[in-house]
Every structure is written in structure tokens, then in C-alpha cells.
Amino acid sequence: MNSIEVSGLKKYYGSVKAVDGISFQVKVGNIFGMLGPNGAGKSTTIETLVGLNKRTGGEIRVLDLDPGKEFDRLKPQIGVQLQNPSLFPRLTVREIVRLFASLYPDPLSIEEVISLVGLESKEKVQTKALSGGQRHRLAIALAMVSNGSVIFLDEPTTGLDPQARRHLWDVILLLKSRGVTVFLTTHYMDEAEKLCDDLVIIDQGKIIAQGSPKDLINQYFVERAIEFVDPGFTEEERNGINDLQIASRVIFENEESHIILYTDDIARSLTSLMDYAGGLSKPIADVIVRQATLEDVFLKLTGRGIRE
Amino acid sequence: MTIFKEMFIANVKELIRDRDGLFWLLAFPVIFIFIFGIVFSGTDESTFNIGIVTQSENIMIKQMIEGISDIQTFNVTQGTEEDELQALERGDRSLVLMVPDIDFNKVSQGQPIEIPVYYDASQSTTNQVLLPVIGQIFSQMEDMITGQVRIFEIQPQPMQTKELTDFDYILPGILAMSLMQLGLFGSLQFMNLREQKIIRGLGVTPLPRSTILSSEILLRVIVSLVQTFIIVAIGKLVFGVTIVGNILVLCGIVILGALTFTALGYMLIAFSKTSEAGRGIIQVVQFPMMFLSGTFFPITMMPKYIQPVVKAIPLTYLGDALRHVMVGATASYNLLTDLGILTAWLVVTLVLAIRFWKWE
Ligand SMILES: Nc1ncnc2c1ncn2[C@@H]1O[C@H](COP(=O)(O)OP(=O)(O)O)[C@@H](O)[C@H]1O
Ligand SMILES: [Mg+2]
């Protein structure tokens, strides 16, 4: 059984194809992740699924309803956290949770959601005085108080400190244990790997891979990754690495000036690489050999880092 | 219903916790009333000196003059044309009536008898109070001559039973203006909700948009009533203003006025993209309206081509309707005319606002 079914969904803003023909299903009670860099079309997808945006084309069913037409029946059954939550600035945390609770037929208790997101000490603080992370957690509380059977979370952990992030993961897993379906977007690989039962990777409005995190890694990576800091190769010298034919793919990550090689013969590749660098008198330090991650899947599929 | 209540409470809290905004909301009418109160109570006129020039021996004219003289607020002097007009120029008369003999030949041919009324056009009180009263007196006389139904009698009007000051006439104008400001600028809060994406954020909840709007409008109406209370209370306690009419009727008119200007505000912001632009348009509209409504400057002082504008703007009628209930029969229009035109404005602006408002 599926909570969400999407086929051929398109959303264009004029000539910008924010979402360009995506299809996926979300099973009841699963945590479904949509992973992609900024501008990939994640928020647009969520906003279309919850009836805030009108789609350009394609079919959507959420809880067997069309969010474009039957939003009146859909809204009481879902909870939504938008990426940039806008809240009444002068209501306190408690007051705004209370307001939202009053909008739903069968809400969770106000105390419970406030403590789930760890805002007990901020209960009486007006929302305009909250920090970014606290606003974010409040928005998640508002999505949860609905007690909806599907909860949409748009980048729920972006901007949270590592501790708050871990805590929120626990909350999301708790929702799952209660049978709630969670649709979340993220650009953190580790988050997707840890939380999601199913996952799509989206880039420039298109799905470029989908499956469970394990599936994706197995499918795209029987290989391992050799990652090292660029010792100052010239353009020509970089291209020389490709000519060595020691890797299925070589990625130059300009931002952190890392170079990553994917290979199934670590020993041979490492030796050739060291020789090559030694011959150019640019010895390589700080080499890491590791298992592939989702980040690598993304890099391999697009040639770009996900946080770009 | 609980949703409406919760939404309304949220709006109230937003309003009263915005200290600056709240301060101006309450301070504006207070400042206004004190400025005008001090200006106008300086020229305190509890009686009007009326000059009458006539050679007529006609019994009806005599009775009419007697009738006018009986009005407590009027202090009637008779004299020659030259003397009276000089007195008017000196400021010793508020108004001079030139009453000719009644020419029954003319009357039977249906021709009007012209009665020149001289007055100082710079005196707003004269314009707003005296002319309508004099007009009423003559129309009663006319009824008597042509209709031969009624006996010559002047109906004492509420305003004539007490001593009125200039400020009594100004107070309804201040109230009307406050209601206008509140309605027009109050609509900007709704614009803010849109601009801050709060309306969009609520769009994912089951909250109907109509509830967001109606709870906001209810709040504006209540604030209007609070402002009315402040203005009337200060008028009464500090400036000794008397309210003639029924307080419930007054509240009714205040609510109608608040709704009309709120709707006008919504219509104006419906055509603007940002709240800055909305504020601009509202200022452009409210400023001339303030001066053209005849509240502070007599309409007769304005050029002829402006008159149609004066007759079109809602503030004219709100001020007039409030004058009806607050000081009695000194208004320029029939109360039903006032209410009718205000309602028409309300309906038309509301329809346009709904038609052109964009929720996002
Ligand atoms: N209202 C809009 N008008 C025009 N373009 C938009 C609008 N919203 C989003 N976009 C564009 O659509 C693309 C996808 O945006 P978004 O869904 O917000 O991405 P993500 O959430 O993955 O970062 C981006 O190129 C963005 O600029
Ligand atoms: Mg986004």
C-alpha cells in the first residue's frame, strides 16, 4: 500500500523546469527521502504534494486524494514543515502550537510535541526571538501536532547543530514507529542513509537514481574510493591521471580541492598514482581509502558535489 | 467556531504585543482630538448672531422672524442692508438674511423667491451648521405657503436645545477621519501576513482562508469601537461635548464606517504587490480625502470643479452620518442617503477587493 504515488510530475516556472517529470511511490509507514543539491526541485515537489503549488503536469495521489483538487479533505490528514517557516512573530511557542493544534481534528498534545522537539524551555518565548534552529524545530513541532498520517519535512535538519540533528533523527524514527509515513528532503547523505527506507536522488528536476540507500550503494559501487588532497596538479597533470587508466572515474572536487578515484583494484591504482605524482615531484599526502557513500553515488552520477 | 476563536485570539495578541503599533493606534486619535480641540475651542461660539434685513410687513415673514428669534442659540438683529453687511464684515454677524416681501404672483407662477444669505465662507461652523438649519426653516415655510397644510411652526431640532461649540461639529469629523485611517492602514496588516508568508504557511493547514480574513476584519471593527470610545470620552470629559443621538446608532454607523474603509483599504492593497506600495497608494488616497470631505474646510470654499469629488468620497458621508447622531440635525444630507452611499462603497470596494486580491 502506498501513501503517496507520483507519476510524471512536472512543475515549470516559466522556462525554469523546477520539477521535470518525476515518478515514485511512498509506502505506508516508510520514511521516504528525497536527496538533492540546492535548486534540485525538492521544495517544489513538497509544495506540490501538499497542494500549495499547482502542478504543470503529471499525476499525484496523497492518501488517495489529488492535492490539487481535494486539498480540503487532504489537509486535515497531513502535517507539513516548509523549508522557510513563517510564523506569527509575536505569538509564543506554546501559543502557536496551540493555534495549530486547534486546526486539526485529532491533534497530538501540545506538551508532547513541544518536548519532542526540545523547546520546553522556550515555551513562553515569542517566535521572533527564537534562533534559526529553534524556529526550525518549532516548525517541525507544528507539522507533528497535526497527528497526520503523512508528515512532510523539508530539510528538517538543515541549520541544526549535530546534537540537535541526532535528536531530531530519533524523533523522526519515533514517528515511524507509530506508523506515520514521513516524506523528507535533505542534502545530507548520512541522514538519508540513516533514516530512509526508500530514497530518490534528484538533480535539476529529474530523478537520477532511486532505491534503498543500500541498493543504491551496491548498484553504483562495487568499487572503493581513493580520496586525496590535490597536491597542486596543473590542468594537464590532472588530465594525465585519467590517461593512467587506473580508475573507473576520476572526480576533481574544486571546492575542497580533493581528487577522488573510484576503482576496484586499490593496490594497483594507489601504486600507479603515487608513481605518477612522484614523477611530477608533487607527492601526495593525506590519502584516504574508503567505502563508497551516497555522496559518491551522487558524485559519480553528476560529477558534482552535492553541496555545490 | 473554535478555529475562528483561536485565529482571532492570535490576531489580538499580534496586535497588542506590537507596542509601537498599538501606541500609534491609540495615540493618533488622542493627539488629533487635542490639536483640533484646542484650535477650535479657542473660537468658542455658543450663540450665533443673525442679521435679518426685510421691509416686508407680511404676517408670515413676521412669524418666521419670531420663530428664528426663539431659537436659543440664535441672537437675531434686524437692520438696514448696509448696517448688517458691515456688521458681517466686522465679524459681528455669523450670517445675514435678505428676506424680500412674498410676491404671491411669483409664487403662483411657480417662480422661486430668492433669499440671499450672506455669510463668511471662512467660518466652517457657519457652513456646517447654520446653513442647513436656515435651509430647514425656509423649507418649512415653503411647505406652509404652497402646501397650505401646516401651520407656521418651527420644529425645534436637537441641536437647538443646547449650546453648541465649534468643537461639537468638529468631533464627528475627527471620528470619521480616525475610522478612515484605521480602516485604510489597518488593511496593511493583512498585506504583512501575506508578505511574511504567514498566510502561505497557514495554507498547508486545514484553516480556511476566509477565517484568516474574517477574524482580521472583526479585530479591526473592535479596534474602531475602542477608538470611538476614546474619542467620545475625551470629547465629553475634556471638551464638554454632548452626544445627542442614540449610542447604539452611533456604534452601528461606526461599524459601517470601519467596514467601508477597511474594504476600501483591501481594495487598494489588492492592486499593490508589496506593503510599501500599498502604504503609498493608501496615503495618496487618504490625504486628499481628509481635506475634501468638508470636515475641516468648508466645501463652499473649494473650487466648483472639486464639488463632484466631494460628493463622491465616502468620508464626506461618514462624517455627515456621524454628525447626524452626535450633534443632531446639522448635517448636509439625509441620514439614509449617508448610510446608502457608505453601503454602496462597501459593496463595490469589497467586490473589487475580492476580485483582484492575490493570496500569494
Ligand atoms: N516561485 C518560483 N518562481 C520561479 N522559480 C522558482 C520558484 N520556486 C523555485 N524556483 C526554481 O525552481 C528550482 C527548484 O527550486 P526548489 O524546489 O526550491 O529547490 P530545492 O528545494 O531542491 O533547493 C530552482 O531553480 C528555483 O530557482
Ligand atoms: Mg528547498
pLDDT tens-place string over residues A124-139: 999 999 988 899 899 9
More confident residue, B49 or A57: A57
Measuring from atom 10 of ligand 1, which residue has the nearest CA?
A: A18
The CATH topology of domain A222-291 is Alpha-Beta Plaits (3.30.70)
Least-confidence region, from A180-184, A200-204, A299-303: A299-303
Residue B104: give its domain's CATH number: 3.40.1710.10
Separation of alpha carbons B341 and A67, rounded Å: 43
pLDDT tens-place string over residues B247-286: 899 999 999 999 999 999 999 999 888 888 989 999 999 8
User: Is the domain of B66 the same as that of B186?
Assistant: no
pLDDT value of position A152 = 97
User: Is the domain of B230 the same as that of B335?
Assistant: yes
Residue A167: phi and psi, rounded to 5, are: -60, -40
pLDDT value of position B292 = 83
B335: closest CA among B323, B347, B348, B353?
Answer: B323
Domain boundary, last residue among B128, B158, B188: B158
Domain boundary, last residue among B115, B137, B158: B158
Instruction: Flag whether residue A84 sits within 8 Å of chain B, measured between CB atoms.
Output: yes
User: Is the domain of B184 the same as that of B323?
Assistant: yes
Mutate to test the pocket of ligand 1, among A16, A206, A207 (most ligand atoms within 8 A of CB): A16
Q: Do A102 and B201 touch (CB under 8 A)?
A: no
User: Rounded mean pLDDT of chain A?
Assistant: 90
> Looking at residues A55-60, what average pLDDT do you find?
95
pLDDT value of position A308 = 45
Q: What CATH class has A2-212?
A: alpha beta
More confident residue, B39 or A211: A211
Question: Is the CB of A54 inside a 6 Å radius of any atom of ligand 1?
Answer: no
Q: How far is CA A109 from CA A97, A106, A144, B206, in A?
A: 9, 9, 10, 18
pLDDT value of position B125 = 61
Cβ neighbours of A205 (radius 10 Å): 22
Task: Give me the residues of chain B with pLDDT under 70, please.
Answer: 39-47, 72, 107, 110, 121-129, 140-166, 295-301, 329-331
Percent of all residues in chain A with a pLDDT value above 90, rounded to a whole number: 57
Instruction: Flag whether residue B207 sits within 8 Å of chain A, measured between CB atoms.
Output: yes
- Residue whose grid cell is 590532472: A238
Confidence of residue A12 (pLDDT cuts 50, 70, 90): very high
Instruction: Flag whether residue A126 sits within 8 Å of chain B, measured between CB atoms.
Output: yes
pLDDT value of position B166 = 66
Cβ neighbours for A119, distance < 8 A, ≥ 6 positions apart: A93, A134, A137, A138, A141
Beta bridge partners of A199: A33, A211
pLDDT value of position B238 = 81
Instruction: Flag whether residue A91 sits within 8 Å of chain B, measured between CB atoms.
Output: yes
User: B8: nearest CA in chain A?
Assistant: A99
Separation of alpha carbons B260 and B187, rounded Å: 11
User: Is the domain of B173 the same as that of B272?
Assistant: yes
User: Is the domain of B169 the same as that of B217?
Assistant: yes
User: Is the domain of B66 the same as that of B209?
Assistant: no
Instruction: Flag whether residue A99 sits within 8 Å of chain B, measured between CB atoms.
Output: yes
User: pTM (2 decimals)?
Assistant: 0.75
**Mutation site, A74, A86, A142, A154, interface B, largest B CB count within 10 A:** A86
Q: Do A103 and B3 touch (CB under 8 A)?
A: yes
Number of domains in chain B: 2
Q: Where are the domains of chain A?
A: 2-212, 222-291
Measuring from atom 6 of ligand 1, which residue has the nearest CA?
A: A13
Separation of alpha carbons A45 and A41, rounded Å: 6
pLDDT value of position B8 = 94
pLDDT value of position B127 = 61
Burial B150-181 (b: 16+ CB within 10 A, else e): eebebeebbbbeeebbbbbbbbbbbbbbbbbb
pLDDT tens-place string over residues A92-104: 999 999 999 999 9
User: Is the domain of B11 the same as that of B78?
Assistant: no
Chain A residues with CB inside 8 Å of B10's CB? 88, 91, 95-96, 99
- Domain extent, residue B154, equals 48-158
User: Is the domain of B21 the same as that of B37?
Assistant: yes
Measuring from atom 5 of ligand 1, which residue has the nearest CA?
A: A13
> Looking at residues A109-114, what average pLDDT do you find?
96
Instruction: Give the SS3 label for residue B102.
Output: coil
The CA-based angle B179-B185-B189, given to 5 degrees, is: 125
pLDDT at A286 over 60: yes
Gyration radius of chain B over CA positions: 24
> Looking at residues A243-253, what average pLDDT do you find?
83
CA A205 to chain centre: 14
> Looking at residues A163-191, what average pLDDT do you find?
92
Domain boundary, last residue among B135, B158, B181: B158
pLDDT at A111 over 70: yes
Question: Is the CB of A308 inside a 6 Å radius of any atom of ligand 1?
Answer: no
